[in-house]
Amino acid sequence: MSATANATLAQDHHEHDDHGHHHKETFITKYIFSQDHKMIAKQYLITGLLMGSLGILMSVLFRMQIAWPEESFVIFEWLLGDKYAPDGVMTAEAYLSLVTIHGTIMVFFVLTAGLSGTFSNFLIPLQIGARDMASGFLNMVSYWIFFISCMIMISSLFVESGPASAGWTIYPPLSALPEAIPGSGMGMTLWLISMAFFIAQSLLGSLNYIVTVINLRTKGMSMTRLPLTIWALFVTAIIGVVSFPVLLSAALMLIMDRSFGTSFFLSDIYIKGEVLAHQGGSPVLFEHLFWFLGHPEVYIVILPAMGLVSEVMASNSRKPIFGYRAMVASILAIAFLSTIVWGHHMFVSGMNPFLGSVFTFTTLLIAIPSAVKAFNWITTLWKGNLQMNTGMLWSIGFVSTFITGGLTGIILGDSTLDINVHDTYFVIAHFHLVMGISALYGFFAGVYHWFPKMYGRMMNKNLGYIHFWVTIVGAYGVFFPMHFIGLAGLPRRYYTNTAFPYFDDLADTNVLITVFAIMAATVQLVFVYNFIHSMFYGKKATQNPWNSNTLEWTTPVEPVHGNWPGEIPSVYRWSYDYSKMNEDGTDYVIPGQDFIPQDVPLQKNEEELNH
Amino acid sequence: MTVFLIIIVIALLGITLWQMSKILNLSKSHSSEDPSIATDKDNKNQGYLMLGFLIVFNIFMFYNFWEYSRFYLPEAASAHGVQFDNLMFLSLAIIMFVQVITQFLLHYFSFIYRGEKGKRAYFYADNDKLEFIWTIIPVIVLAGLIIYGLFTWSDIMNVEEDEDTIVIELYAYQFGWKARYAGEDNTLGKANVRFIEGINTVGVDESDSYAKDDKIVSELHLPVDKKVLFKMRSQDVLHSAYFPFFRAQMNVVPGMITQFGFTPTITSEEMRQTDYMVDKVKTINQIRKENSKELVANGDMALDPYEFEYYLLCNKICGISHYNMQMKIVVENEEDYKEWIAEQESFGETLAKQEEQ
Q: Is residue A118 within 8 Å of A44, Cβ to Cβ? A: yes
Q: What averages of pLDDT result for each successive group of 10 residues across chain A (611 residues)?
A: 41 43 70 91 96 96 95 93 93 96 96 95 96 93 96 96 94 94 94 96 96 95 95 96 95 95 95 92 96 94 97 96 95 95 94 93 92 95 95 97 96 95 96 96 97 95 95 96 96 95 94 96 96 94 94 93 92 93 88 92 84 66
From A432's Cα to the closest Cα of chain B, the distance in A is 17
- Using CB atoms, pick whichever of A167, A488, A501 lies closest to residue B288: A501
Q: Given CB atoms, is A469 within the 8 Å cutoff of chain B?
A: yes
Please give the Cα distance from A309 to A228 (Å, whole number): 9
Q: Residues 278-307, chain B: which have Cβ within 8 Å of A?
A: 280, 283-284, 287-288, 291, 303, 306
Set of chain B residues whose Cβ sits within 8 Å of the Cβ of A538: 36
Provide the chain A residues 165-204 that lie in CB contact (below 8 A) with chain B.
166-167, 171-174, 177, 180-181
CB pairs under 8 A between A and B: 408
Q: Which residues touch B11 (CB under 8 Å, ≥6 apart)?
A: none
B280 and A505 in contact by Cβ < 8 A? Answer: yes
Chain B residues with beta carbon closer than 8 angstroms to that of A501: 284, 288, 303, 306
A5 touches chain B (CB under 8 A): no
Cα maximum dimension of chain A: 86
| Percent over 70 (pLDDT), chain B | 93
- Preferred mutation among B13, B48, B317 to probe A, highest tally of A CBs within 10 A: B317
Residues of chain B positioned with their CB less than 8 A from the CB of A512 = 2, 5-6, 9
pLDDT tens-place string over residues A465-477: 999 999 999 999 9
Which helix (H) or strand (E) covers residue A271, if one does? strand A270-271
The pLDDT, as a whole number, for residue A192 is: 96
Angle ∠(B212,B213,B216) on CA atoms, nearest 5: 100
A-chain residue closest to B106, CA distance: A378
Determine the residue of chain B that is closest to A509 in CA distance. B2
- Phi, psi at A347, each rounded to 5°: -55, -40
Query: In terms of Cα–Cα distance, which of A98, A69, A102 is closest to A84?
Result: A98
A502, A540, A590: best to mutate for the B interface, most B CBs within 10 A: A502
- Segment 385-404 of chain A within 8 Å of chain B by CB: 385-389, 392-393, 396, 399-400, 403-404
| Beta carbons of A417 and B116 less than 8 angstroms apart | no
Contact (CB<8Å) A317/B314: no
pLDDT of residue B23: 66
Cβ separation A320–B43 shorter than 8 A: no
Query: Where are the extended beta strands (E) located within chain B?
Result: 166-173, 176-181, 215-217, 220-223, 228-234, 239-243, 248-252, 258-262, 310-314, 326-332
Which domains are present in chain B? Answer: 166-270+305-345 (2.60.40.420)
The residue type at A250? A
CA B295 to chain centroid, in Å, comes to 29
Question: A153-175: buried (b, 16+ CB within 10 Å) or exposed (e) per residue?
Answer: bbebbebebbbbbbbbbbbbbbb
Contacts of B133 (CB under 8 A, 6+ apart): none
Neighbours of B148 (CB within 10 A): 17
- Do A360 and B153 contact (CB within 8 A), yes or no? yes
Residues of chain B with pLDDT under 70: 1-7, 9, 16-17, 19-32
Q: Is B88 on the interface with A (CB under 8 A)?
A: yes
* Phi (first) and psi of residue A426, to 5 degrees: -60, -40
Q: Is the dihedral of CA A140, A143, A145, A147 positive or negative?
A: negative
Q: Taking CB atoms and an 8 Å cutoff, what residues of chain B touch A92?
A: 320-321, 323
pLDDT on residue A11: 43
Q: What is the mean pLDDT of chain A?
A: 92
Burial (Cβ within 10 Å: 0-12, 13-18, ≥19) of residue A542: middle
Alpha carbon distance B48, B46 (integer Å): 5
The pTM of the full predicted model, rounded to 2 decimals, is: 0.93
- Mark yes or no for CB contact B114/A388 under 8 Å: yes
Q: Any bridge partners for residue B171, and if so which? A: B178, B233
A517, amino acid identity: A
State the CB neighbour count (10 A cutoff) for residue A8: 10
* Separation between Cα atoms, residue A502 and residue B110, nearest integer Å: 43
Tens of pLDDT, residue by residue over A293-308, are: 999 999 999 999 999 9
Beta bridge partners of B311: B328
Give the pLDDT confidence score for residue A6 in this predicted structure: 43
B53 has a chain A CB within 8 A of its CB: yes
Q: Residue A27's pLDDT is what?
A: 81
Distance from CA of A230 to the nearest CA of B (A): 19
Residues linked to residue B220 through DSSP beta bridges, in sequence order: B329
Spell out which residues of chain A touch residue B102, defining contact as CB-CB under 8 Å: 374-375, 378, 403
* B32 part of contact set with chain A, CB < 8 Å: no
- Rounded to a whole number of angstroms, the distance from the CA of A488 to the nearest CA of chain B is 5
Ordered strands of the B326-332 beta sheet = B220-223, B326-332, B310-314, B239-243, B248-252
pLDDT on residue B25 = 62
Tell me whether A268 touches chain B (CB under 8 Å).
Answer: yes
Q: Does B160 touch chain A (CB under 8 A)?
A: no
**The B228-234 sheet, strands edge to edge:** B215-217, B176-181, B166-173, B228-234, B258-262
Closest CA to A478 of A543, A418, A523: A523
Per-residue exposure over A22-47, b if at least 16 CB sit within 10 Å of its own CB, e if not: eeeeeeeeeeeebbbbbbbbbbbbeb
CA distance A610 to A607: 10
- Three-point CA angle A115, A473, A421, nearest 5°: 75
A353 to B316: CB separation less than 8 angstroms, yes or no: no
Q: Which of A459, A462, A313 is nearest to A393 (CA)?
A: A313
The pLDDT value given to residue A4: 40
Q: What is the pLDDT of residue B267?
A: 96
- Name the amino acid, one letter, at A427: V
Q: Is A148 exposed, middle or buried (0-12, 13-18, 19+ CB in 10 A)?
A: middle
- Cα B343 from Cα B181, distance rounded (Å): 13
Q: Cβ(A535)–Cβ(A455) under 8 Å?
A: yes
Rounded to 5 degrees, what are φ and ψ at B328? -75, 140
CB contact under 8 A, B247 and A419: yes
A379 interface with B at CB cutoff 8 Å: yes
Kindly state whether B201 is in contact with chain A, defined as any CB-CB distance less than 8 angstroms: no
